[in-house]
Amino acid sequence: MPITLASKQVDAELDDELRFHVEQHIEAQVSRGVAPGEARRRAAIAIGGLDQQKDACRDTRGVALIDHAVA
């Protein structure tokens, strides 16, 4: 399937959303007294890795598109 401008925009929005959640997690940890480096490490563990989350979202989006096309 070719990558369209719309899919690039959706991917960019997904990147922004995931980064927002990571930064929120880091800020929460730092506000509790955790060092920034450790807070970033904990965020990566809690989120489960950005690439893995992106893949999971893309997989879900792909299944939703197939479900919509079949319905």
For residue range 19-71, what is the model confidence (pLDDT) as tens digits?
A: 898 899 999 999 999 999 999 999 988 888 777 887 787 777 664 554 445 45
Q: What is the 3-state secondary structure (H, E, C) of 1-21?
A: CCCCHHHHHHHHHHHHHHHHH
**pTM listed for this prediction:** 0.64
Domain containing residue 66: 9-70
In a domain, 33, yes or no: yes
Total structural domains within the chain: 1
| Residue 9 predicted with pLDDT over 70 | yes
Within 8 A by CB and 6+ apart from 42, the residues are: 25, 29, 34
| Residue 10 predicted with pLDDT over 70 | yes
In a domain, 1, yes or no: no
59 or 12: whose pLDDT is higher? 12
